[in-house]
C-alpha cells in the first residue's frame, strides 16, 4: 500500500508570522469599520441608518456568507421562488447594516418611557412581564434570538428596573470586540462573554437570585441534537439545564423592526416547560422548545434573522445526549 504523506506542521516561526498577519488583518478591518461608523455619526439618525441599510444590501452579496444564507433559505423555504429567496437575503443584509450603525445611536434610538404614552421609535409589548420579573426576588431566564435589534432588549429591561446579565458572543476580531463591548456596557448593564466557564458564571448569578439573558439560536459544537426549520442541528443545552437546576421561570423575548425606523420589543408569557415523570424539567424537550419558539419568530419576519449562520452543521464523531441526572454524556 502506498504511504500517506504526513501533513506538514508549520514551524513556530511560521506560526508567529501567520498570527501577526491575522492580527494585522483584524486591525485593518477594525479601522475601516470604525472610520465608517464615525462618518455615519455625522449624519442624522434616520439618514445614517438608511445609508447603512443600502450599503449593506449592495456589498453583502459579494461575501461568501451570502451563499451560505441563500443555501439556508432554500432549505428552510423550499416552496419559495429564487426571487423570493434573494429578496429575503437582501433584507437580511439591510438588517445587518442597520444593526451595525445602530451601535452609535443606541442612546438616541431608545426613547421608550413607561411613564408616558407618547409614541416614539420604541414600543413594548408585555410590560407587565418586565415589571413582574423586576419585582420578584428570585432568578429568571430571558432568551432571545438574533432578530431585529436584539441589543435593545436589555436596555428595555433596565428601563423597567430589571437587573439582568446578558450573555454575548464577542466577534473574533479583538479590536471590534473591544469597541462593541464598550458600547454595549455603557447602555446595557452587566455583560458576560460567551467563553469557557460562562455556564458556571451564569449559574452563580442565578444562585444569587439574579436574572440572565441568553441568545439561543447559534450552533453549539457537540450540543444537543435538535431540529430547526425541519433540519437537524446542534443546540446549546445550558439554558434548559439551568432552568432544571434552579426551577426558574423562562421568558421568551424578541425585537422586530417596524416601518419608519421604529421597533417593537416583545416579552411573551413564561414558557410552560416540558417535564419528566419525576417533575424535573426535560432538558432535551425544553431545548427543542427554544428552537421552535425562535423559528416561529423568524417565520413571521424572515428578513430580520441572520441566515448566514452555519446553524445546521453537525459535529462528526460522538453524539451528545442528556442522561438521567440531567448532565451531558456522549456515545459513539
41-66 confidence digits (pLDDT tens): 899 999 999 999 999 999 999 999 99
**Residue position matching grid coordinates 411613564:** 115
- Compare 179 and 252 and report the one with higher pLDDT: 252
Task: Give me 285's grid cell.
Answer: 424537550
Give the mean model confidence (pLDDT) for residues 254-270: 95
Question: Which whole number is the average pLDDT over 5-17?
Answer: 69
- Residue 254's SS3 state is strand
Residue 81 has pLDDT above 70, yes or no: yes
Q: How far is CA 235 from the centre of its chain?
A: 13
pLDDT of residue 132: 95
Alpha helices in the chain (DSSP H): 12-41, 45-59, 64-76, 82-102, 106-109, 127-135, 152-159, 174-188, 198-207, 238-246, 283-300
* Cell numbers given for 293: 419558539
**Residue 215 backbone dihedrals phi, psi, to 5 degrees:** -85, 130
Q: Are strands 249-258 and 224-228 parallel, antiparallel or unpaired?
A: unpaired
Give me the pLDDT at residue 222, please: 81
The DSSP 8-state label assigned to residue 187 in this structure reads: H
pLDDT in tens, 209-261: 999 999 999 888 889 999 999 999 999 999 999 999 999 999 999 999 999 99
- pLDDT for the residue 23: 78
Q: In the numeric block, which cell numbers belong to residue 126?
A: 408585555
Mean pLDDT of the chain: 86
Average pLDDT, integer, range 277-303: 97
Alpha-carbon distance of 66 to 60, in angstroms, equals 7
pLDDT (average), residues 147-161: 91
pLDDT grade for 195, boundaries at 50, 70 and 90: low
| Res 326 pLDDT > 60 | no
Q: Alpha carbon of 85 to those of 37, 193, 198, 241, 292: distances in Å?
A: 29, 33, 36, 36, 21
**What domains does the chain contain, in order, with CATH numbers?**
14-103 (no CATH), 114-331 (3.40.1130)
Asked whether the predicted pLDDT for residue 330 surpasses 50, the reply is: no
Q: Which grid cell sits at 212?
A: 440572565
- Residue 31 in grid coordinates: 479601522
Amino acid at each position: 500500500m502506498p504511504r500517506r504523506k504526513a501533513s506538514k506542521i508549520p514551524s513556530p516561526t511560521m506560526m508567529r508570522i501567520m498570527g501577526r498577519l491575522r492580527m494585522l488583518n483584524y486591525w485593518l478591518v477594525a479601522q475601516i469599520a470604525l472610520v465608517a461608523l464615525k462618518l455615519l455619526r455625522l449624519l442624522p439618525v434616520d439618514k445614517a441608518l438608511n445609508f447603512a441599510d443600502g450599503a449593506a444590501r449592495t456589498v453583502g452579496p459579494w461575501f461568501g456568507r451570502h451563499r451560505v444564507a441563500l443555501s439556508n433559505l432554500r432549505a428552510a423555504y423550499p416552496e419559495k421562488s429564487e426571487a423570493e429567496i434573494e429578496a429575503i437575503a437582501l433584507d437580511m443584509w439591510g438588517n445587518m447594516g442597520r444593526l451595525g450603525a445602530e451601535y452609535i445611536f443606541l442612546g438616541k434610538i431608545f426613547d421608550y418611557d413607561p411613564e408616558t404614552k407618547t409614541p416614539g421609535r420604541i414600543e413594548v409589548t408585555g410590560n407587565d412581564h418586565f415589571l413582574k420579573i423586576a419585582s420578584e426576588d428570585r432568578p429568571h431566564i430571558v432568551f432571545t434570538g438574533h432578530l431585529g435589534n436584539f441589543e435593545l432588549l436589555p436596555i428595555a429591561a433596565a428601563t423597567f428596573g430589571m437587573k439582568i446579565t446578558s450573555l454575548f458572543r464577542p466577534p473574533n476580531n479583538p479590536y471590534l470586540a473591544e469597541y462593541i463591548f464598550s458600547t454595549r456596557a455603557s447602555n446595557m448593564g452587566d455583560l458576560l462573554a460567551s467563553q469557557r466557564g460562562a455556564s458556571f458564571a451564569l449559574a452563580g448569578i442565578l444562585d444569587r437570585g439574579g436574572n440572565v439573558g441568553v441568545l439561543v439560536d447559534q450552533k453549539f459544537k457537540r450540543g444537543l441534537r435538535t431540529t430547526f426549520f425541519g433540519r437537524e442541528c446542534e443546540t446549546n443545552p445550558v439554558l434548559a439545564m439551568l432552568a432544571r437546576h434552579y426551577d426558574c421561570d423562562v421568558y421568551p423575548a424578541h425585537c422586530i423592526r417596524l416601518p419608519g425606523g421604529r421597533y417593537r420589543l416583545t416579552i411573551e408569557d413564561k414558557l410552560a416547560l416540558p417535564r419528566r415523570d419525576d417533575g424535573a424539567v426535560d432538558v432535551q424537550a425544553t431545548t427543542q422548545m427554544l428552537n421552535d419558539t425562535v423559528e416561529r419568530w423568524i417565520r413571521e419576519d424572515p428578513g430580520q434573522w441572520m441566515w448566514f449562520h452555519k446553524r445546521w452543521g453537525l459535529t462528526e464523531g460522538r453524539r451528545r445526549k442528556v442522561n438521567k441526572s440531567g448532565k451531558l454524556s456522549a456515545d459513539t
